[in-house]
Structure 1
Amino acid sequence: SYFVLFWGVYACLLWGVVVLSYYFIQCEMFIPFYTGRVIDVLGSHYQLNEFLSALLFMGLFSMGSSVSAGCRGGVLLCAISSFTCRIKVKLFQALTKQEIGFFETIKTGEITSRLSKDTTLMGRTVCLNVNVLLRTFIKTVGMISLMMTLSWKLTFLVLMETPLTGLIQNIYDTHYQRLFQAMQDSMARTNEAANEVVFGIRVVRSFNTNKHEAERYDERLNETRSLKTRRDIVRAVYLLAQRLTGLGMQVLILYYGRLFIQKGQMTTGSLVSFIIYQSDLGGNIRTLTYIFGDMLNSVVAAGKVFNYLDRKPEISTDGELKPDQLRGRISYCGLSFAYPTNPSKTVLQDFSLELKPGQMTALVGPSGEGKSTCVSLLQRLYEPQGGEILLDGQPLKSYDHHFFHKKIAVVSQEPVLFSGSIRDNITYGLNDCSMEEVEDAAGKADAHDFIQTLEKGYDTEVGEGGGQLSKSERQRIGIARALVRQPKVLILDEITSSLDTESENKIQQALASCLDQTLLVIAHRLKTIEKANQIVVVGGGRVKERGTHEELMELKGSYYKLREELFTQTDSPVEA
C-alpha cells in the first residue's frame, strides 16, 4: 500500500528523478575513463588533437553530471517533502477517526512521536533509499562493465571484497537496528514525560514538584542519550572496519597494477581510471549493502505508521440514515457497559431509559454510578457490550456519522475551545453558518453582550484552550456552539456551574423556548432538577427511580435521601 500511495501521487516527480538519474549515471561513468585517456596522451607521444578531444569529453561529462545531479536532488527533495506532508495528513485523519478507547490506552507521547518523527523518517529514508538503490545499482553494473574492459583480473580481485563488505554490513545492521528501535521508544517516553508536565502544569506548581519532574525528564533524556552513545559507538566501529577494508583493497590493486603495467597488460592511464572506478565501486557496494539495512530501519518506522493507518475504529461510522424529519426520541434498551481500560468493572448493567421530545430529563446520583457514561454512549464515544441505544426507533450506528453529530450536541462542564476567533469556535465544524445564526445562538447563550464589548467582537482570538477568556465566558461560548447547530437532542453537563443567576435564567428561558427539543441534563443544582419533566436516579449502573420532583419526594426513596443529604436550604449542589 505504501508504494501504491507513493506512485499514484508523485509519479511525475519520480519519473523526473529517474530520467535525471539516468543522465547523471551516464556522465559519471565516463569521467574516470576520459581522465585515464588524458593521462595516457600526456605520458606517450603528445598529440594535441587527442588531448583536446579527451579533455573536451571529460569536461562535457563533468558538466552534465553536475547539472543532472543538481536537478535530480531538487526534484527528489520536492517529492520527499510532498510525500511526507501527505503521510502526516493521512495519519492524522486516521487517528482522529479512532474511538475514544484507543486514546485511553495509547500514550500521547507515542502518538505524537509517530506523527512527527516516524512519518518524517519514513518519507525521508524510504524515498531517498529507493532513489539511491536504483541509481547505485545501475551505476555499479555500468562501472563493472567498464572495469572489465580495462582489466578483468583486477575486476575479479575487487569483487572479492564484496562478501567481506556484506558480512561487516550485516553485523552492523543487526546491532544498529536494535539500538535504533530502543532509541525511538525512549524518545517517545521522553516526549510523553514532557507532555504530561505541560498538560498538568497547574498541578505541578500546586504541589511544588517542578524539581521532581525536571529530574524525571532528565532521567528519560539520559536514557535516550545512553542509547544514542551506544549507537554512535557501533557506527564508529563499523566505519573503521569499512575504511580498513577499502584501504587494504587499494593496496592490493596498486601492487598488482604495477605488475600488469610492467608486463604491458595495461597502461598507466588505464590503472588510474581503474583506481577511480574501484574507489567509486567500493562505495557503491557498501551503499547497496547499507541501503538494505537502512530500509529495515525505515520499515520499522513505516510499520508503526501503517499500523495506525490500517487500523479500523471499533465504532463503525458507516451508517447512511439521514431522515428529513427527526423527532429526537432516545431509548436506552438494556445497556451493559464496561470501559475498555477496565473491562472487569461493569459501569452500566441492564440500563433502560426513555427520553421524550420536548421534555427535559435530569440524571442525578452519587459520583461514579454511570451518569456521564450514559452521555458518552449517547455520543457514540463508546459502544455498549450489551443492549443498544435507539434514536427514533433506529440504532445509533445506522445514522450517517456527520448527520448524527449535528443533531446531537453536548455542552460539558469544562468546554474545550480551540485557538482561533470566537466566531470560529461557535461555528466549529460547520461550513454554512451565517453571522445571523451565530449572533442568535450567542444571544440565547447570554454571550452576545460580552462579545460585543470586546474590541474585535466575534473576531477576538480566544487563545490556546480559550485562555484569554474567563471560565464563565468559555462556558457561554460552549453553549452557543451547541445551540447554533439547532440540535434535536441537547446534552448538558451542569453547564450553569460557573454562571451567575441572571445568565442562568436567560439560558434556561432560551432552552425552554425549544419545545420540540430532547434535553438531557446531568444535574447538580436543585433549581435545575425541580424543573425537569423526568428525574432519573442512577445507582449501581441501573435506574433506581424515575419521576417528577414531587413524585420522587412523595416516594421518599433514594432521591429523597439524596436530597436530604446533599441539598441545603441555600441550594447546595448535588454530588454528580
Structure 2
Amino acid sequence: MTFAAGVAALVCALCVDLTVFYARASVETPGVPVRLSVLWGFALLRFWALAAATRLTLGRVRRLLLRVITAHSLLPAVFETGSTALYPGEEAGGRCGRLADARCWLLFVAASLSAALFWEVTIPDSDEDAAAAAREQKKKARVQFLRVVKLYRPDYPLLGGGLVFLTLAVVCEMSIPFYTGQIIDILGSQYQRNQFRSALLFMGLYSLGSSLSLSLSPSSSLSAGCRGGILTCAIGSFTCRMKLQLFGALTKQEIGFFEVTKPGDITNRLSNDTVRMGESVCLNVNVLLRTFIRTVGMITLMMSLSWKLTLLILLETPVTGLVQNIYDTHDQRLQLAMQDSMAEASEAVREVLSNVNVVRSFNAEQHEAGRYGRSLVKTQDLKTRRGCFRAVSLLVQRLTGLCTQVLMLYYGRQFIQSGQMTVGSLLSFMLYQSDVGTNIRTLVYCVGATLKSVGAAERVFEYMDRRPVVSTDGTLRPDDLSGHVRFNRLTFAYPSNPDRTVLQDLSLELKPGRMTALVGPSGGGKTTCVSLLERFYEPQAGEILLDNEPLKSYDHGFLHRKVAMVGQDPVLFSGSIRDNIAYGLTDCSMEEVQEAARLAHAHDFIQQMGRGYDTEVGEGGGQLSKSEKQRIAIARALVRRPQIIILDEITSSLDTESESEVQQALSGLPDRTLLVIAHKLSTIEKADQIVVISGGVVEDRGSHQDLMEKKGSYYKLVEKLFAE
C-alpha cells in the first residue's frame, strides 16, 4: 500500500467516525432505557462503518487495527452505561456523555490506542504462526494443569480446608483498613464510646484472623498458620503419591529406554519435578486465589468509598503493566547476553590454566590477559546497561504511582470539601490503594506463572504416560513348561545405535534338558541373544518361541520365574543372604531358600558364617568372595524353580577350586535347559551343543568333537582363544 492510499484511508475513516459520533450527540432520547438502546445502536453502527471504510480502503484489516476500532467504537457506550448504573442521580455521562465534543472524541481515541497497544505488547499475536503456537502451548498447559488438579483428588478435603482459612484470612485483612477509617472518623468527630469500642473490637478480631497480623508477621496469624500447615500436608501427600507412581512407571520401561535416557534426567524428574508439580497447584493457586480475592475485595470496598477515585487509580495499572512488559523483554535479552559474556570469560580462564605451558612458551601472557580483560569489560558494560534500564523502569513506575497519588489526594480533598467523602474514608481508600496496584500486577504474573509451573508436570507425565516398547501384556501361564526355545530368523539393532545391526536373520534352537554353549568373538551377538531371551528388547524382525508360543504371549511374572539368569558379575543388594536369595519373591519360605542354596553348593559356607542366612552381604555383596557371590546368585535363580537357566561367563574370573564348586552346582540340574556363554574350554567341552556366532549370524554348530573334526570356525576359535 502506498503512502497516498494510507492517507486516503485515514481521512475516510476519520470523516465516517466524526459523522456518526456527532450524529449520536444530536439525537434527543427521553428515558434511560431508550437512551441506552440508541447509544449501543450507534456504537454498533459506528463499528461497522469504521470497519467497512477501513476494509474498502486497505483491503485487509490487521488484528491490532480491528482492536483499536472495536475499543474506539464501544468506549463511549461503555462509559455512559457505567455512569448511568453507578451514578443514576446525575446527568448520565457528564461532559463526555450526551454533550460530546472534540475533546471527548480525542480522549476516546487516546484510550482506544492505549488499550490496543497494551494488548499488543503484553499478548502479541502479529505473527500468525507464533500466535497459533502460543495458543496451542497455553491450551496444553491448561490440560496439564487440570490433570494435576484431578490427581489431587485424595487431598481435596485438605485443599478445601486450606481454601476456607485462605478466604478467612483475606477477608479479615481487607476489613482492617475499613475499621481504621471508622476509628479516625469517630476520633475526628464527636466521640462516641460504644462505637469506638465496637470498632476497636472488630479491628482486633480481624487482625487476629488475617494473613497479616498487627505485628505484620504471617507466622503469628491464626488463619495463615492453619492454611500453611494444611497445604504443606497436602503437598507432601501428593508428592509421595506422584513419586511412587512415577517410579512404578519407570520400572516398567524396557532396558533400551534407560540406554537412551540420561540417568540425571530420570532422577531429576523423580526428585525435583514431582515436588514442583505439587507446588504448582498448592502454592501458585494459593497465591493466585489469595491475590484474586484481595484484589476483588479491595476494588469493591474502594468502589463503595468512591467509585470516581477507584477509576482514577485503575488507570495506573495499564501503564505500569506496559512498562513492566517492556522492561522484562529487554532485561531478558540483556541477561542472556551477559551470561554469554561471562561464559566467554570463564572459557578464556579455563584455556589458559589448562594450557599455561603453551602460553608461557609463546610469551602470550599479555595477550591472554588482554583477552580476559576485554571479556570482563564487555560483561561489566552489559551489567551497567541492565542496571540503567532497570533504574529507568523503576523511575517511570514510581513517577506514574506518584502522579496517581497526587491526583488521588487532589480529588480526595475536593470530595471531602463537597461532602462526598470523610477523612476516615479517604484514609481507608489510601490504605487500599497502596496495595491494589501491586496485587493486580501479582495477579497477572501468577496466571502465567501457574501455567508455566506445570512444565514440571509435563515432564513427569511424559514418563508416566510412556508405554514400554517391550510389551508386558502377555497372559499365558501354562502348568507344564518343557523349556524348548527356538530363535526364529531374528534381526536386531540396539535402540541406542539403530543403524548397526547386531543380529542378522539368526536362527537357533535350545532343547529341553540339554546344555547349549554360545561362543564367538566379542561383539558377535552372544549377549544380545541372552538379552532377547530375557525380553529386555524386542527384535525388529523374527520372533522367539517358547514351547512353540511367542515369548511375548507369556505373563511377565511367569516368564521371569521360568527363565532365570546368572551373570559374570552378579549383583547383590544390601541386606541378608536370605533376602538376596529370595529377592523379588513374596511367598518364599526358609525351607525353599535352604534347598536352593544346597543345589547351588552354597549352604555349607553360609552355615559357617556367624549369623548364617541372616548374615549381611554388605553393599554390592562386598563382604563375600566372588565365588560365594556366584553361588548365591545361582541359588537366587534356582529358588524360582526355572525351566531355563542362562549362565553368562560365570566362571571366567574364578580360580580352579571356585570353578569346580560352581560346576558341581550346575551338574545337579539335569532336567533344565541351560544356555551358557563362556570362553573357558573346560566349560564349553561339557555342552551338548556348541553354537558359534560371529557378526550376528550362526557360523557353525555341533558338539565339541564334531566341530573340532570339521576344523571350521570353531576349530580356529579354539586355537586362537582357548589354547594355553
Q: Does 1:389 align with 2:544?
A: yes
Cα distance in 2 for partners of 1:468, 1:175 equals 61
Q: Is 1:93 aligned to 2:238, yes or no?
A: no
Matching residue of 1:121: 276
User: What's the counterpart of residue 30 of structure 1?
Assistant: 175
Task: Give the equivalent residue in structure 2 for 1:293.
Answer: 448
Q: Partners in 1 of 2:608 and 2:564 — Cα distance? A: 28
Query: Is it true that 1:17 corresponds to 2:172 in the alignment?
Result: no
| 2:557 aligned partner | 402
Q: Is the 8 A contact 2:511 2:673 kept in 1?
A: yes
Matched, 1:308 2:453: no
The question of whether the paired residues in 1 share the 8 Å contact of 2:284 and 2:446 is answered with yes
| Inter-partner Cα distance in structure 1 for 2:709 and 2:624 | 44
Alignment of 1:355-394 (within 5 A): 355-394=510-549
Q: Distance in 1 between matches of 2:612 and 2:245?
A: 36
* Structure 1 position 346, deviation (Å): 1.0
Aligned residue among 560, 563, 571 for 1:416: 571
CA distance in 2, matches of 1:82, 1:298: 19
Classify 1:291/1:555 alpha carbon distance in 2 versus 1 (closer, same or farther; 3 Å).
same
> What is the CA deviation profile of residues 8-43 of structure 1, one whole-angstrom value per residue up to 9, with x for unaligned ones?
221211221222223223222212211111111112
TM-score (normalised: structure 2) = 0.67
Cross-structure match for 1:533: 688
Alpha-carbon distance between aligned partners in 2 of 1:485 and 1:171, rounded to the nearest angstrom: 67
Match of 2:503 among 348, 358, 366: 348
SS at match of 1:128: helix
Aligned to 2:302: 147
Cα distance in 1 between the residues matched to 2:651 and 2:557: 28
Task: Measure the CA separation in 2 of the matches of 1:138 and 1:525.
Answer: 77
Structure 2 counterpart of 1:479: 634
Contact 2:474 2:552 in 1 (8 A): yes
Residue 486 of structure 2 aligns to a residue whose secondary structure is strand
Alpha-carbon distance in structure 2 between the residues aligned to 1:507 and 1:532: 15
One-letter amino acid matched to 1:153:
K
5 Å-filtered alignment, 1:424-435, equals 424-435=579-590
- How far did residue 249 of structure 1 move? 4.3
**Aligned residue for 1:196?**
none
Aligned to 1:106: 261
1:44 aligned residue (181, 189, 206): 189
Query: In the TM superposition, what whole-angstrom CA distance separates every residue of 1:281-338 from its partner, at most 9, and x where no partner exists?
Result: 2232122112123224312222222111211111111111111111111110000011
Offset from partner CA, 1:321-368 (integer Å, 9 cap, x none): 111111111110000011112112111111001111111110000011
* 2:653 maps to 1:511: no
Distance 1:310 1:159 in 2: 45
Q: Could you say if the C-alpha distance between residues 242 and 353 of structure 1 is closer, same or farther in structure 2, counting changes exceeding 3 Å?
A: farther
Report the secondary structure of 1:475's partner residue.
helix
The within-5 A match list for 1:66-77 is 66-77=221-232
**Alpha-carbon distance, 1:93 to partner:** 1.6
Deviation for aligned residue 1:399: 0.9
Distance in 2 (alpha carbons) for counterparts of 1:18 and 1:174: 35
Structure 1 residue 165, shift from structure 2 partner: 4.1
Change (3 A) 1:338 1:71: same
Whether contact under 8 Å (2:148, 2:277) holds in the other structure is no
Deviation at 1:511, TM superposition (A): 2.5
Q: Report the AA paired with residue 164 of structure 1.
A: V
SS in 2 for 1:89: helix
SS of the residue corresponding to residue 454 of structure 2 reads helix
CA–CA distance in 2 between the matches of 1:302 and 1:167?
Answer: 30
* Contact 1:133–1:291 (CA under 8 A) maintained in structure 2: yes
- 1:497-550 CA distance string (max 9 Å, x none): 333434433333332322321110001111111111111011121111111111
Is this contact kept in 2: 1:169–1:290, CA < 8 A? no
Letter in 2 for 1:392: D
Name the CA distance, whole Å, in 1 between partners of 2:491 and 2:425.
83
- Is residue 339 of structure 1 aligned with residue 494 of structure 2? yes
CA contact (8 A) 2:652 2:678 kept: no
Deviation at 1:127, TM superposition (A): 2.1
CA contact (8 A) 1:446 1:503 kept: no
Answer whether contact 1:180 1:297 (CA < 8 A) is retained.
no
Q: Is the 8 A contact 1:422 1:459 kept in 2?
A: yes
Distance (whole Å) between structure 1 residues aligned to residue 553 and residue 623 of structure 2: 40
- Identical aligned pairs, as a percentage? 68
Q: How far did 1:425 drift? A: 2.0
The structural deviation recorded for 1:386 is: 0.5
Contact persistence 2:152–2:238 (CA under 8 A): no
The equivalent of 2:612 in structure 1 is 457
Q: Aligned partners of 1:486, 1:282: CA distance in 2, in Å? A: 73
Report the 3-state secondary structure (helix = DSSP H, G, I; strand = E; otherwise coil) of the residue aligned with 1:352: strand
Deviates more, 1:556-565 or 1:21-30: 21-30
CA distance in 2, matches of 1:178, 1:350: 56
Cα offsets for 1:189-236 (capped at 9, x unmatched): xxxxxxxxxxxxxxxxxxxxxxxxxxxxxxxxxxxxx9xx99xx89x9
Change (3 A) 1:385 1:81: same
For the 8 Å contact 2:601–2:665, the answer to whether it is kept is no
Closer, same or farther in 2 for the Cα pair 1:458/1:166, shift >3 Å?
A: farther
- Provide the residue aligned with 2:103 in structure 1: none
Structure-1 separation of matches of 2:335 and 2:615: 46
Q: Higher RCO, 1 or 2 (CA under 8 Å, sep at least 6)?
A: 1
Q: Which letter maps to 1:490?
A: I
- Tell whether the 8 Å contact from 2:166 to 2:223 is kept in structure 1 after alignment: yes
Q: In 1, distance between residues paired with 2:625 and 2:636? A: 16
**Which piece of structure 1 moves more, 34-43 or 48-57?**
34-43
Question: Take 1:357 and 1:475, find their aligned partners in 2: how far apart are those partners?
Answer: 24
Alignment length (residue pairs): 521
Rounded Cα–Cα distance in structure 2 between residues aligned with 1:423 and 1:169 = 65
The structure 2 residue matched to 1:138, chosen from 293, 316, 337, is 293
In 1: Cα distance, 2:330 partner to 2:454 partner: 16
Amino acid at match of 1:257: G
In the alignment, structure 1 residue 547 sits paired with structure 2 residue 705: no
CA distance in 2, matches of 1:96, 1:444: 31
Distance 1:176 1:556, change over 3 A: farther
Q: Separation in 1 of the partners of 2:320 and 2:417? A: 31
CA distance in 2, matches of 1:393, 1:175: 68
Relative to 1, partners in 2 of residues 1:259 and 1:458: Cα closer, same or farther, differing over 3 Å?
Answer: farther
Contact 1:25-1:135 at 8 Å conserved across structures:
yes
RMSD over aligned Cα atoms: 2.8
Q: Distance in 2 between matches of 1:460 and 1:242?
A: 73
**Superposition pairs of residues 105-254 of structure 1, within 5 angstroms:** 105-168=260-323, 170=325, 237=390, 240=394, 244=398, 249-254=404-409
Aligned equivalents of 1:428, 1:510: Cα separation in 2: 20
For 2:542, what is the secondary structure of its paired residue? strand
Q: CA deviation at 1:428?
A: 1.5
Q: Which moved more, 1:503-512 or 1:522-531?
A: 503-512
Normalising by structure 1, report the TM-score.
0.84
TM-aligned CA deviation for residue 413 of structure 1: 0.7
Give me the whole-angstrom Cα distance separating, in 2, the residues matched to 1:435 and 1:89. Answer: 30
Aligned-pair CA distance for 1:371? 0.2
Higher alpha-carbon deviation: 294-303 or 441-450: 441-450
Please give the secondary structure, in 2, of the residue aligned with 1:389: strand
